[in-house]
Amino acid sequence: RMDQALLLVRNELPAPGLNLAARSGACHQCLYQFLAFVPPSNESLSKPGTASVMVDTQHPLTLQLNSSVGDRDLCKIQYHFGEFGNYSLVVKTLSTSTQTVSCDLIINEGPINSYLPILFAFLVYMGILAILIAGRLLMKIDPVRNWVYKKLNPRATDRMINSELGSPNTTESINCDPTPQSWSTGSRQRLRSLDTFRGLSLVIMVFVNYGGGKYWFFKHESWNGLTVADLVFPWFVFIMGTSIALALGSMLRWGSSKWKVLRKILWRSFVLILLGIIVVNPNYCLGPLSWDNLRIPGVLQRLGFTYLVVAALELLFTRADSGTWEGRFPALQDILPYWPQWIFILVLETIWLCLTFLLPVPDCPRGYLGPGGIGDFGKYPNCTGGAAGYIDRLLLGEKHMYQHPSLGVIYQSTMPYDPEGILGTINSIVMAFLGLQAGKITLFYKDQPKQIMSRFIIWGIVMGVISAILTKCSKEEGFIPINKNLWSISYVTTLSCFAFILLLLIYYLVDVKKWWSGAPFLYPGMNSILVYIGHQVFANYFPFKWKMQDSQSHAEHLTQNLIATTLWVVISYILYRRRIFWKI
C-alpha cells in the first residue's frame, strides 16, 4: 500500500525464534510496537524461518529483534524504507563459538521515488505561470492588443486588460473577512497585500484539507513540530486580526457608533460559530447530526470566538482619529496608547500558563504536555494533551470533541482530543492580537512603507527570539515545544514570526513596488468564507473528487487535490470578475 514497504525476515538461528518490533522516528520516547514472530530455522531441512511484514516509509524506523525466550536483544537497525520497496532482513550466526549474531538488510527490489509527482506538478504550474506572464507582456504590444480588440468586445476587453485590480463597493462591515482600505484621499481601495496573504493561507488550507496528495508533510504533525499543514490556520487568524484594525478604524471614521459596530461584531461572531457547528462538522461521519455526537469546537467556532474577543477589545480602545500620538515616545505610538489591551492579553496568557502547568489532572503528572498513548514510554496512556485535553473532556464531554486526532496513528492514543479545544483558544486570541498589531502599524505609519516594513522586521525578530528561548531551538527538548494540537505559546510566537516576515514580503511586492498584483491568491482572499465553507461542503462531490484508478498512488491523489484546489481559485476569480463577494 501507499507509504509502505515489504520486509521479509529470514531467521537462520535455531530455536526459540525471534520477536520483531519497530519504533517510528516520528514517535518521541515511544515504546517498541510488536510486528511479527519469526519462527526458528529447521536445522534438519536447512530451511530458515520466515515472516513478512509491512513497514511504514514516511519516517525512519528502528527495528529491534529479540529472542522470544528471555527477551534478549539480538540487534537493532535504523533505516528509512522507501515506498513500494522490497527488503529482506537476514538474521544469522557469524560464529558458533561466540554466538555473535548479524542482521543484514538486503534490498530485493528498489523503492519508487514518490516525490516525483510533486516536481512534475511544480513544473506544470510554473509553465502555466510563464504562459500567463508572456501573454501579459504580449498585450503591451500595440499590434497584438489591437488584434485582440478586433476579436473580442472592445469595451469589455479594455476593462479587463487596462484596468487595475479593483475592489467591491465597500460597505460598513466588519467581519472575519473585512474590507480594509488604503489611505488615499482620492480613492478607497483595498490593501491588496492583506487579501493576498489571506488567499495564500486559504489556498494551502484547502489543498491540505483535501489530502495534500497523501504526503505526510502536507498533514498535521502528530504532536510536537511543524509541517506545511500546521502553518495556515494561525496565519488566517493573524490576518483576521490585521483586518480588524483597519476595518474598525475605517468604520468609526465614517461615522458609525461603537454600539452599532458592537452589534455587527456580535452578529458575525454568532453566525461564524453557528456555521461551524451545523455546516462544517466533521462528526457527521458518525451519522446524522444530533446532540449525541455533535462536535462543539471547530475551526469556524474558534475563528468566531477569537474574532469576538479581539474585535471587542479593539473597539473598546480604538479611536476614530488615528493621527500621530502626542506622547513621549512617538516611535511606540502603535503600542503605548493601548496598554490596557496588552495587560488583558498578558493576563490571558498567564491564565493559559497557570492552567497548563498547575492544574491537577487525574492520574497525570502536573504540567504534562505529551501525547499520551505509547509516548513517554507508555507511562501516561490516558493523559493526551494534559490540562487542555482534561478541560475539554470535563466541560464538553468526549462525544462532543474531535474523534480522530492526528496523533492517533503514530502515538496510538485512544483518547478523543480536539485541536480546537477550549484552552488553546486563549492562544489563538493572542495570535489574532499580534495580527491586530500588524494592522495598527499600517494605520499609524500610513504612507511610510519603510517604517511599516522595518517594524514588521522588528516584530518578526522579537517573536523569533521568544520562540528560540521557549523551544531551546529543539523539537522536543524545549520548555514549551511548538505544538499545533495544544496551540502552545511557542507555536503562536513561531507562526507570528513567519507571518510578519511573509506579510512584509507580500506588502513590499504588492502594495509598495506593485511588481505583483497578488493574483491568483487575491481572489480567494476576497471571498474567504465562501471558499472555506464551499470546499468543506462539496468536498466529496464531482468535480472536486472522483473515483480513482489507483487509490494507492500519490500521483493520483496529488492530481485530484490540486485540481480541486485550482477549481476553487477559478471559482473565486469568476466571482471576483462579477463583483460577487459573500460577507457575513
Catalytically annotated residues: 220
Cell 480588524 found at:
244
Per DSSP, the three-state class of 197 is: helix
**Which residue in this structure is represented by grid cell 461564524?**
272
Run of H or E including 36: strand 33-38
Q: How far is CA 199 from CA 71, 192, 568, in A?
A: 56, 10, 11
DSSP state, residue 111: P
CB 523 within 8 A of CB 573: yes
Residue 79 in contact with residue 61, Cβ under 8 Å? yes
Three-class SS string for 154-188?
HHHHHHHHHCCCCCCCCCCCCCCCCCCECCCCCCC
The 86-95 sheet, strands edge to edge: 49-56, 4-11, 86-95, 100-109
Q: SS3 of 5, please? A: strand
Burial class (CB in 10 A: 0-12, 13-18, 19+), 323: exposed
> Which positions ≥6 away from 405 have C-beta within 8 Å?
384, 413, 416, 417, 418, 419, 485
Side-chain-facing half-sphere of 192: CA atoms under 13 Å = 22
Helices (H), 210-298: 232-253, 258-278
For residue 6, give every residue at least 6 positions away whose Cβ sits within 8 Å of its Cβ, in sequence order, or none: 52, 53, 54, 55, 85, 86, 87
Residue 278, phi then psi, degrees to nearest 5: -95, -45
Cell of 118: 510533486
How many whole angstroms separate alpha carbon 169 and alpha carbon 40?
78
